[in-house]
Amino acid sequence: MRWVLYPITALLALITLGLATLAAMAFFAWPNLPALDTLTDYRPRVPLRVYTADGHLIGEFGEERRDVVRIADVPSTLKHAILAAEDERFYEHPGIDLVGLARAAIANLSTGGRGQGASTITMQVARNFFLSREKTYNRKLYEILLSLKIEQNLSKDQILELYINQIFLGQRAYGFSAAARAYYGKTLDQLNLPEAAMLAGLPKAPSAFNPIVNPARAAVRQQYVLRRMLEAGYISSTQYEEALAFATPKQSQRDIAAARKNQDIVVPGDHVAEMARQIAVEQFGEQAYELGIRIVTTVTRKDQEAAYAALRRGVLDYDRRHGYRGPEAFVDLPSGMVDAARLDEALSDHSDHGDLLAALVVKASPKEVVAYRRGQQITISGKGLAFVAPMLAEKAPQSRRIRPGAVVRLRNSGNDAWEIAQLPEVQAALVSIDSRTGAVRALVGGFDFNRNKFNHVTQALRQPGSSFKPFIYSAALEREFGPGNVLADEPLYYPAGVTGSKAWEPKNYDGRYAGPMTLRESLARSKNMVAIRLLEQITPEYARDYLTRFGFDGARNPAYLTLALGAGAATPWEMAAGYAVFANGGYRIEPYIVKEIYDGNGRLIARTDPPVAGQSAPRVIDARNAWLMDSMMRDVVQSGTATRARSLKRTDLAGKTGTTNDYVDAWFCGYHPELVAVAWVGHSQPRNLGRGETGGAAALPIWINYMASALEGVPETQLPRPNGLILVDNGLGTRQDFHYAEYAPPEPPAAPDWLQQMFAADTSPAMEAPSEAIPPGPPARLPPLPPPAQAPAPVVDRMPTPIGR
């Protein structure tokens, strides 16, 4: 039998030699193992997060999505799922599982590869924190040694907590808490058993078992984890059967839909988040992305969602008015081709944008279009084809016709009814602020942040058109004018010799002239001729200097007569700040968007303390001026160019429309005494919006739809009338209007007694007056201020002239 003993002796010798070699290697390697400070003083990379004032997530910045949780806060269902999937004997072994290692070694020797590793949770922690993922025996040795060292220094719960917070699980999610939010939009304690099993199956191969990328394969892995939980005694047979019935590929796809729906709950505020990110990086540098900084903004979820919805609705309505431009692209589809993989590949270059979903047409006729997206064929018919009907006709140009292979946009119009839409080319912006503090309540800087990251609220310097007129009229109130003063709405002409450049003949928007009218009526009807005459009398230089009280840059609003028509430049942000002065009674406030900043430990490190109207904010215009301008701009809403806003059925709304020459920019700037909102519509590169696309037609509907939500439940409010105003005749004999008491025209002297008696006796024959002259009655308007000594102000010809309205 000695021939049997020789191989056994040789094998034992080899094993002994191998163990001795390993022991020697371990002896020399142990002192060189890294210190465990990274584990004992765990400081994970936690992304920068931006929230609304009422606690809802707006944005997240950082390479790693992570939410650090304590082991005590991890539900037992998830713990058991993780242990069943990754390391059932975790609480029993010393860091390495010898049975598992032997099984893996035999499997690798038999196959000649290194496919199995038998890594315990402790070994995975060692690898994730200190080692690479290369599959070599040297790296495996260090992994084993590190695991033993970790087990000597940390408790089992500490190790499991590190694992739960550090492991990568796909979708940029690190740790199970971040993964629960990424895949299901839930916190850990909200996960059910099938969801916990799905997440527990991800560490083995996040890309392969990702339920968003590969729902069918993810469901198979999910079922495996459930079976292991049953075998380990973590769940009962009944729980297993119930969970297994839930865990199917189709259900996984429903899980994805639910997850995406929950992810969409994140407040749509990309421009807000980007503004907050810039502030964080400015203060903390690149470390801002990994310190766990939390920025709380001033916006509220309700207002932000209302602003987003109002802007998108307004832009899509505008887009529909101007017709369908045709499919975005065309893909060659072999006849009868319905292979999902090839269709998905054809759509891979076309991302969804909000509710405008990319789809590929597979069948098309004037009555019905069938489009493919993500394994589903959607049929569009009836009203859903109304917008694109011209491009379904046979006579439609081939380059714009909807046909098989066309890439189109689908939009769910409600009740699972689909329509074909398109990505708009036009841009828009909406910002609202608290008139007393300047806190931004909502901000949407463009139609879609992912297509155009330019923030049109803060960065777009555009001509404000007639929405700038209130500031000119406000300046006039300080130069002895009142709302009842009368100026002529008649044509004007300035020859080249007067302008210093070329002749200028401004016009009203509608080309019509109404003759003498009060300033109140001229603002309500947006009469350009009156605004120009008014600016002439108060002088452009005075008006330009006066504008700085509202925060406008005098250099961007030069002292030319076209200033009366808003030919300067301002951003929606600046316009909101300017209108807030009228809304709050005359105080200058500064808009701001970051309320508080917290560090990774939840400690408050910064807070904005803004000047408040009526308290610490500086007064920049007389309270009477603000009240009169408010009353005049309420007339704009009640009887002027913004009468659409009467649909809100409120009497405390004020504002002004604005449209620039050639319909390039459309504005509405308006407010409730507590809330200012500015809406703008235009192209990023200025060009014509289309005939009739005025501020009242394009921008005002956005403002109305936002205010309908923002003012829901807010009682009507009126600014209190300040002292120092008196009623005077407007000069046309139609009504009285308020005027500064010190600037009011004097009352005429009483008529002589004989004249009063004559009218009292109703003497019919005409009588000749005595030789003394009868004093004249009140003037039709205040006499104009003396003209300036210099020549008339030149007219700018470097910018398009706003057309008013």
C-alpha–C-alpha distance, residues 358 and 349, integer Å: 10
| pLDDT, position 16 | 57
Check whether 467 has a pLDDT greater than 70. Answer: yes
Check whether 34 has a pLDDT greater than 90. Answer: no
Q: Domains plus CATH for the chain?
A: 13-40+65-266 (1.10.3810.10), 326-421 (2.40.50.140), 461-586+621-710 (3.40.710.10)
407 sits in which H/E element: strand 406-414
Confidence bin at 285 (pLDDT 50/70/90)? very high
* Residue keyed to tokens 């890294």: 34
pLDDT average, residue stretch 509-520: 93
| More reliable by pLDDT, 9 or 222 | 222
| pLDDT, position 783 | 31
Confidence bin at 584 (pLDDT 50/70/90)? very high
Supply 716's token pair.
Answer: 């009507």
Confidence bin at 255 (pLDDT 50/70/90)? low
Please write the tens of the pLDDT for every residue from 128-170.
776 555 555 555 677 777 878 888 888 999 989 989 998 999 8
Task: Name, in order, each residue with C-beta under 8 angstroms of 338's C-beta and a sequence gap of 6 or more.
Answer: 362, 372
Q: 390, exposed or middle or buried, with CB in 10 Å at 0-12, 13-18, 19+?
A: middle
- Whether the CB-CB separation of 359 and 409 falls below 8 Å is answered with yes
C-alpha dihedral, 646 to 650 to 651 to 655, nearest 10°: -60
pLDDT average, residue stretch 344-350: 85
pLDDT average, residue stretch 631-657: 97
pLDDT average, residue stretch 675-679: 98
Phi/psi for 412 (5° steps) reads: -80, 115
Confidence bin at 345 (pLDDT 50/70/90)? confident
C-alpha–C-alpha distance, residues 718 and 603, integer Å: 41
- Whether the CB-CB separation of 493 and 639 falls below 8 Å is answered with no
Phi/psi for 655 (5° steps) reads: 170, -175
Check whether 780 has a pLDDT greater than 50. Answer: no
Check whether 562 has a pLDDT greater than 70. Answer: yes
Check whether 675 has a pLDDT greater than 60. Answer: yes
- A 10 A CB-CB count for 158 gives 16
Check whether 264 has a pLDDT greater than 60. Answer: no
pLDDT average, residue stretch 5-25: 54
Going 141 to 142 to 144 to 148, the CA torsion angle's sign is positive
| pLDDT, position 761 | 42
Please write the tens of the pLDDT for every residue from 747-777.
544 444 543 443 344 433 333 322 222 233 2
Q: What is the DSSP string of 138-191?
A: HHHHHHHHHHHHHHHHS-HHHHHHHHHHH-B-STTEESHHHHHHHHHS--GGG-
Bin 422: left if φ > 0, else alpha if -120 < ψ < 50, else beta. beta
| More reliable by pLDDT, 98 or 657 | 657
Task: Name, in order, each residue with C-beta under 8 angstroms of 538's C-beta and a sequence gap of 6 or more.
Answer: 472, 475, 476, 479, 481, 785
| pLDDT, position 456 | 98
pLDDT average, residue stretch 106-114: 56
Check whether 428 has a pLDDT greater than 70. Answer: yes
pLDDT average, residue stretch 308-312: 98
- Mean of per-residue pLDDT scores for the chain: 84
pLDDT average, residue stretch 300-327: 97
Check whether 791 has a pLDDT greater than 50. Answer: no
Look up residue 611 and give its amino acid.
P
Q: Which residues are identified as catalytic? A: 86, 466
pLDDT average, residue stretch 451-465: 96
Confidence bin at 576 (pLDDT 50/70/90)? very high
DSSP 54: T
Q: What percent of the chain has pLDDT over 90?
A: 61
C-alpha–C-alpha distance, residues 153 and 142, integer Å: 17
